[in-house]
């Protein structure tokens, strides 16, 4: 609806009821053994807009799909509802088949009458039938009122920008250029090489080899003393501004790779160490390299390597610090076999298969290196000429003489990490390292942004992991860059320009920066959506004060129509019996958490109250207080909102916004004399079927007590 209460242009409200078909799956006896599928089919045939209804033993089978496609073509269906098992299993399957028959995939809806009805209410066949009938009515109502998403396609540039020239950046650049893709590589320093090679085994030799190749490759442009200044445009067509020696250059690329590496944290000036005797691993690496290159003997006689300092933090105590420390101990013994080398550690960390670290430790022991564990509460104390430590076995103090103490200082992100992350829309962990979104954890509708993080820019890693990540990223990039265009089937937010007031609320809450305010006619700035960035979470639609934004598939009207239909069958029965009914609960369920846990509860056949109607939502960001109020004022005795746990939202922070909105709503309900306990928000994991059942049952019991009192 627009700000004036009228439908959007081209809204389904302006059209006649779409021609809708309903297929009721029997699933052998899994559904038909509990539900009267013929009765459900007959009832569905009477619904407005339904021109075809039939029962199918297995509509997901090859024959069933062929009959479905035939029904679509013969009846000229514009919408299709399949009442069967969980959408998570079959919805994509049905949508692909419908597309082959000429039906927009967005016009296919799957409602779950197996896991949500037949499996969990087998002991209550009448209640199971009521619930299944309501779910079908809700599905048909949604199809009749929602707008359909359509593919959004954009042009594509088959080139890449690589930021950083360490081992990972040079490897990716060489691989892409060798595959025929143009590469622009920028480096903030005056020369290629990066800063992480000191800690990576044999990295310098590999980097030197690549430096002899990459600058001479005709498909690679190198910009030294350069940094990323600005990024604009959609995925596949990024307009990138690069500042180089006080000049700004703008290029267009299809993908961006962050390979900036990490840097060692230096010793701060407040320490009272002799800088000639106490050094970091990075400084010591240069000393060892210089001695090895010059072929001179190492004069240090007593060397103590501390793999965790009192202020080193978690990353000082990482697998890379452990490997580096053990390798340096081996180098000292190789350069001066008579040297006394002691490695002090709390734990020796490694990643994955720790065989490599074990081999290095064994080699060091064979060369005569001493390994000494210390307790966290009694770290080594460095004095003028000795390192003092308590023996954790005897509790007695131990004093070690030293010529050189080597501290494993933490590897930290580069100075420009925060700026890069902000420009590229990347998340950062608590230490500031950049996090690349994991495709398997993102909604299937999500469009690949073409922004990748490799090497120690992601977290400190050794040479083997650097090369693995670089080659994997190169492979992904080649597949990505070989496309002619980019498209997405996500339900992209649509903004009615005639209703938009340019308030900017939507811009502030968009988790992927897909909305911008664009100046129109030099007077007013209106919101516009970058379709390839939008994930359709719906957060913007909730905060729009004039209802100028809609999400295809999750329109306001579609959601309200499902709320209205949620208890159709039970209302009819209650009217006949004098209006007495158990608590009715409408559950707004995020499809990644609460809906998935409800599916699992059904699979495990854990019964729960049958007077629950589950409305599948794409994200808890779409939980709208107005929809909750509508449900309370019309059909529902209670509203349950099921969201992902904090930090696990597929769309970023939708669950956190939902939590804040529900808190405000409950306070408003209390202010107006309505019991706020009728609304409950729960954070549920998608694999917690028992938790879903416990939550529903507890909520039902609380509502029942309240209804008895009133």
Integer Cα distance of 561 and 13 in angstroms: 12
Evaluate if residue 247 carries a pLDDT over 70.
yes
Task: Give how far Cα 705 sits from Cα of 230, 274, 710, Å.
Answer: 59, 73, 9
Burial of 431 (0-12, 13-18, 19+ CB in 10 A): middle
Q: Is the pTM of this model over 0.85?
A: no
Q: How many domains does the chain have?
A: 5
161 and 181 share one domain = yes
373 and 287 share one domain = yes
10 and 137 share one domain = yes
Of residues 40 and 704, more confidently modeled: 40
163 and 256 share one domain = yes
Evaluate if residue 92 carries a pLDDT over 80.
yes
Evaluate if residue 196 carries a pLDDT over 80.
no
Rounded to 5°, the CA angle 172-178-184 comes to 55
Q: Is 557 part of any domain?
A: no
Share of the chain above pLDDT 90, in %: 54
Mean pLDDT of 173-195: 91
**Buried b / exposed e across 591-630, counting CB within 10 Å, b at 16+?**
bbbbbbbbbbbbeeebebbbbbbbbbbbbbbbbbbebbbb
The domain boundary, picked from 465, 486, 507, lies at 486
Q: Range with the lowest mean pLDDT among 45-49, 253-257, 330-334, 681-685?
A: 330-334
Mean pLDDT of 554-581: 76
Q: Range with the lowest mean pLDDT among 89-103, 391-405, 621-635, 654-668?
A: 391-405
Integer Cα distance of 138 and 567 in angstroms: 9
16 and 89 share one domain = yes
Residue 349: which pLDDT band, with cuts at 50, 70 and 90? Answer: low
The domain boundary, picked from 148, 178, 194, lies at 148
DSSP conformation class of 437: P
Contact 251, 232 (CB under 8 A): no
Q: What is the dihedral of CA 586, 592, 598, 604, to 10 degrees?
A: 180
Integer Cα distance of 575 and 636 in angstroms: 15
372 and 428 share one domain = no
Q: Is 353 part of any domain?
A: yes
301 and 188 share one domain = no
Residue 3: which pLDDT band, with cuts at 50, 70 and 90? Answer: very low
Long-range (24+ apart) CB contacts under 8 A made by 570-574 are 570/130, 570/134, 570/611, 571/635, 573/130
118 and 50 share one domain = yes
Task: Report the candidate in 223, 26, 48, 258 with the shortest Cα–Cα distance to residue 145.
Answer: 48
**Buried b / exposed e across 194-203, counting CB within 10 Å, b at 16+?**
bbbbbbbbeb
For residue 154, the SS3 value is strand
Q: Is 563 part of any domain?
A: no
442 and 322 share one domain = no
Q: In Å, how far from its chain's centre is CA 144?
A: 32
Mean pLDDT of 651-680: 93
Contact 577, 697 (CB under 8 A): no
Q: What does the pLDDT read at residue 270?
A: 54
Q: Is 555 part of any domain?
A: no
Residue 706: which pLDDT band, with cuts at 50, 70 and 90? Answer: confident
DSSP conformation class of 117: I
Mean pLDDT of 317-327: 76
Task: Give how far Cα 611 sits from Cα of 18, 392, 566, Å.
Answer: 30, 62, 10
Q: Is 683 part of any domain?
A: yes
Q: Is 285 part of any domain?
A: yes
Residue 709: which pLDDT band, with cuts at 50, 70 and 90? Answer: low
Burial of 147 (0-12, 13-18, 19+ CB in 10 A): buried
524 and 446 share one domain = no
> For the segment 583-616, what is each residue's pLDDT rounded down to a tens digit?
999 999 999 999 999 999 999 999 999 999 999 9
**Which residues are paired to 264 by β-bridges?**
411
Q: What does the pLDDT read at residue 154?
A: 81
273 and 394 share one domain = yes
Integer Cα distance of 697 and 690 in angstroms: 11
Backbone torsions φ then ψ of 97, nearest 5 degrees:
-65, -40
User: Whole-number mean pLDDT of the chain?
Assistant: 86
Q: Is 556 part of any domain?
A: no
The domain boundary, picked from 96, 120, 148, lies at 148
Of residues 22 and 414, more confidently modeled: 22
626 and 673 share one domain = yes
> Which CATH number is 97's domain given?
3.40.50
> For the segment 199-222, what is each residue's pLDDT rounded down to a tens digit?
777 788 898 899 999 999 999 999
Residue 525, domain extent: 489-534
Share of the chain above pLDDT 70, in %: 89
Q: What does the pLDDT read at residue 9?
A: 37
Q: What does the pLDDT read at residue 295?
A: 64
Contact 158, 482 (CB under 8 A): yes
Q: In the numeric block, which tokens belong to residue 3?
A: 């700000």
Contact 566, 116 (CB under 8 A): no
> For the segment 279-293, what is each residue's pLDDT rounded down to a tens digit?
888 888 888 877 777
Q: What does the pLDDT read at residue 580?
A: 56
Contact 476, 468 (CB under 8 A): no
> For the segment 486-538, what is each residue's pLDDT rounded down to a tens digit?
877 778 899 998 899 999 999 999 988 889 898 876 667 899 998 888 888 99
> Which CATH number is 289's domain given?
3.50.50.60
Q: Is 709 part of any domain?
A: yes
């Amino acid at each position: 609806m627009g700000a004036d209460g009228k439908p959007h242009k081209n809204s389904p409200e302006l059209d006649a009821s779409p021609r809708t078909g309903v297929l009721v799956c029997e699933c052998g006896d899994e559904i038909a053994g509990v539900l009267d599928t013929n009765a459900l089919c007959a009832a569905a045939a009477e619904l407005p807009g339904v021109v075809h209804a039939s029962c199918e033993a297995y509509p997901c089978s090859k024959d069933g799909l062929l009959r479905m496609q035939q029904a679509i073509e013969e009846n000229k269906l514009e919408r299709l509802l399949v009442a069967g098992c969980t959408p998570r299993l079959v919805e994509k399957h049905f949508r692909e088949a419908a597309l082959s028959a000429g039906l927009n995939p967005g016009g296919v809806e799957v409602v779950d009458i197996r896991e949500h009805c037949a499996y969990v209410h087998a002991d209550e066949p009448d209640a199971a039938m009521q619930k299944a009938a309501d779910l079908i009515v809700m599905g048909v109502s949604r199809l009749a009122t929602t707008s359909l998403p359509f593919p959004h396609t954009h042009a594509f540039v088959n080139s890449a920008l690589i930021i950083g020239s360490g081992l990972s950046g040079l490897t990716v650049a060489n691989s892409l250029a060798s595959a025929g893709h143009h590469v622009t590589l920028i480096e903030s320093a005056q020369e290629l090489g990066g800063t992480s090679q000191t800690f990576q085994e044999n990295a310098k030799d590999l980097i030197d080899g690549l430096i002899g190749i990459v600058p001479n490759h005709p498909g690679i442009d190198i910009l030294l003393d350069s940094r990323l200044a600005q990024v604009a445009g959609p995925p596949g067509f990024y307009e990138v501004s690069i500042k180089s020696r006080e000049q700004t250059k703008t290029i267009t690329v299809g993908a961006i790779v962050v390979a900036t590496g990490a840097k060692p944290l230096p010793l701060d000036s407040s320490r009272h160490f002799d800088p000639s005797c106490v050094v970091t691993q990075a400084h010591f690496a240069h000393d060892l390299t210089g001695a090895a290159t010059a072929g001179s003997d190492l004069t240090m006689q007593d060397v103590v390597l501390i793999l965790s300092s009192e202020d080193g933090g978690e990353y000082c105590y990482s697998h890379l610090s452990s490997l580096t420390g053990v390798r340096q101990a081996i180098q000292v013994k190789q350069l001066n076999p008579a040297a006394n080398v002691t490695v002090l550690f709390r734990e020796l960390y490694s990643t994955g298969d720790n065989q490599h670290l074990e081999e290095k430790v064994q080699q060091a022991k064979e060369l005569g290196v001493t390994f000494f564990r210390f307790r966290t509460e009694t770290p080594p104390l460095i004095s003028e000429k000795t390192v003092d430590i308590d023996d954790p076995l005897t509790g007695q103090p131990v004093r070690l003489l030293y010529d050189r103490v080597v501290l494993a200082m933490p590897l930290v992100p580069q100075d420009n990490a925060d700026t890069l992350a902000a420009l590229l829309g990347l998340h950062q962990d608590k230490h500031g390292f950049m996090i690349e979104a994991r495709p398997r954890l993102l909604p299937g509708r999500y469009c690949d942004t073409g922004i990748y993080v490799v090497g120690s820019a992601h977290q400190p890693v050794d040479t083997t992991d650097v090369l693995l990540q670089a080659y994997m990223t190169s492979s992904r990039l080649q597949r990505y860059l070989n496309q002619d265009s980019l498209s997405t089937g996500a339900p992209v937010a649509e903004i009615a320009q005639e209703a938009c007031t340019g308030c900017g609320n939507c811009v502030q809450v968009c988790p992927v920066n897909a909305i911008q305010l664009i100046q129109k006619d030099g007077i007013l700035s209106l919101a516009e959506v970058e379709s390839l960035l939008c994930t359709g979470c719906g957060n913007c639609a909730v905060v729009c004060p004039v209802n100028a934004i809609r999400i295809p598939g999750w329109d306001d009207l579609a959601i309200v129509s499902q709320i209205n239909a949620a208890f159709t069958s039970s209302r009819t029965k209650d009217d006949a019996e004098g209006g007495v009914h158990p608590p009715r609960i409408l559950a707004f369920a995020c499809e990644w958490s609460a809906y998935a846990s409800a599916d699992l509860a059904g699979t495990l056949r854990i019964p729960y109250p049958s007077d629950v109607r589950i409305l599948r939502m794409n994200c808890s960001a779409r939980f709208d207080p107005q929809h909750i109020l509508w449900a309370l004022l019309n059909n529902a005795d209670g509203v349950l909102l099921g969201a992902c746990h904090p930090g696990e939202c597929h769309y970023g922070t939708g669950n956190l916004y939902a939590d804040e909105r529900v808190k405000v709503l409950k306070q408003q309900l209390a202010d107006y004399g309505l019991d706020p306990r009728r609304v409950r928000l729960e954070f549920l994991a998608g694999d917690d079927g028992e938790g879903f059942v416990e939550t529903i049952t507890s909520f039902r019991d609380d509502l029942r007590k309240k209804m008895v009192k009133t």
